[in-house]
Amino acid sequence: MSTNKTGQKAANKQSVTIIKPLKGWVSINFRELWNHRELLYFLIWRDIKIRYKQTIFGFLWAVIQPLMMMLVFTLFFGKLAGVPSNGIPYPLFCYAALLPWTLFSEGLTRASNSVDASLIQKVYFPRIILPTASILSPLIDFIFAIIPLLGLMFFYGYMPNERMLLFLPLCVLVLMLSLGVGLWLAAINVEYRDIRYVIPFTVQLLMFASPIIYSSNFVPPRFQVAYGLLNPISGILEGFRWAITGTTPPSLQQLFASTGIILVILVSGAYFFQRRQGAFADYI
């Protein structure tokens, strides 16, 4: 047995853990979260490590999946159905929106199943780390999937430009939205197993309700705010398209409306999750 370092001991002298029934609004203890940042790192690291174990293509799958979807959509919606794409070549038009969509849907799906019984029955840590790790680990796939995007851009004569720096704030919005929805679903999923059967097809339906295979330009300007509120990811997807091609800027009102609703979903999700987390181990 190695002994505790004296410095560590001194630092811990003051620390008191208080155990009592928690009621009502359980605020997030950000200092405690910060103390557990290494756990967050290791959970993301684990997700990434095991993701493509025992596959031949490995991380190529992060590229193949959105590319295949893009090809199928281009064939059926671009070529056969002739869906208009704002004058952008359809493959680029579609792929530019599939990229953030995959980030969102992967994070959401994983977050909603993230409350792992084998962990939360055996050890304490702030439970909110689990869905947070789940929405962050798909970022690695996102980064890989940017490579074929650059290929498509060169192929169709679009040069990377400074607008693409907008990827950063737009990604933050996507992650906030998937965390917000993920927190809600994860907390409900612990008690009601129905959620896990609802999620796959709901995500499919949501994809067709979002401007991926089509453009959101068909919505008249006066309804853009309502559209942004109803489907907060639509403005973000159009934002990505604009950052890449520069043709049709997204409606700003719609983006603001979306950002507002994303904040509402995130804060309420965190509230709901924190309220329920104390009882997770009783149900799971």
Partner 1 sequence: MNNIAVRVEGISKRYRIGTIATYKTIRESMVNVISAPFHRKGTADSSPIKHYIWALKDVSFEVERGQVLGVIGRNGSGKSTLLKVLSRIIQPTEGRAEIYGSVGSLLEVGTGFHPELTGRENILLNASILGMKKTDVKRKMDDIIDFAGDVVKNFIDTPVKHYSSCMYVRLAFSVAAHFNPEVLIVDEVLAVGDADFQEKSLGTMGEIAKSGRTVIFVSHNMNAIRKLCTHAILLESGKVTETGLVNDVAAKYVKAMSQTGV
**Would you tell me which residues interact with partner 1 (CB under 8 A)?**
1-4, 8-9, 12-13, 15-22, 38-39, 41-42, 45-46, 49-50, 53-54, 118-125, 191-194, 278-279, 281-283
Structure tokens at 88: 């952008």
Of 46 and 79, CB closest to partner 1: 46
Is residue 112 within 8 Å of 185, Cβ to Cβ?
Answer: yes
Q: List all residues 6 or more positions away from 143 whose beta carbon is below 8 Å from its beta carbon.
A: none
Q: Distance (Å, rounded) from C-alpha 157 to C-alpha 80? A: 24
Q: Distance (Å, rounded) from C-alpha 134 to C-alpha 109? A: 9
Of 188 and 263, CB closest to partner 1: 188
Q: Name the one residue in this structure whose structure tokens are 């208009």.
A: 84
- In the complex, the smallest distance separating the C-beta of residue 6 from partner 1, rounded to whole angstroms, is 12
- In the complex, the smallest distance separating the C-beta of residue 65 from partner 1, rounded to whole angstroms, is 20
Exposed, middle or buried by CB within 10 Å (0-12, 13-18, 19+), for 201? exposed
- In the complex, the smallest distance separating the C-beta of residue 116 from partner 1, rounded to whole angstroms, is 8
Q: Which of left, alpha, beta for 51 (phi over 0: left; psi -120 to 50: alpha)?
A: alpha
Q: Distance (Å, rounded) from C-alpha 105 to C-alpha 211? A: 14
Of 185 and 262, CB closest to partner 1: 185
Which residue intervals of 80-166 are DSSP H helices?
90-112, 117-120, 129-136, 139-155
Of 2 and 87, CB closest to partner 1: 2
- In the complex, the smallest distance separating the C-beta of residue 103 from partner 1, rounded to whole angstroms, is 24
Of 55 and 161, CB closest to partner 1: 55
- In the complex, the smallest distance separating the C-beta of residue 108 from partner 1, rounded to whole angstroms, is 19
3-class SS of residue 191:
helix
- In the complex, the smallest distance separating the C-beta of residue 280 from partner 1, rounded to whole angstroms, is 9
Is residue 129 within 8 Å of 33, Cβ to Cβ?
Answer: yes
Of 57 and 124, CB closest to partner 1: 124
Of 41 and 57, CB closest to partner 1: 41
Structure tokens at 132: 């947070």
Q: Distance (Å, rounded) from C-alpha 65 to C-alpha 52? A: 13
- In the complex, the smallest distance separating the C-beta of residue 95 from partner 1, rounded to whole angstroms, is 31
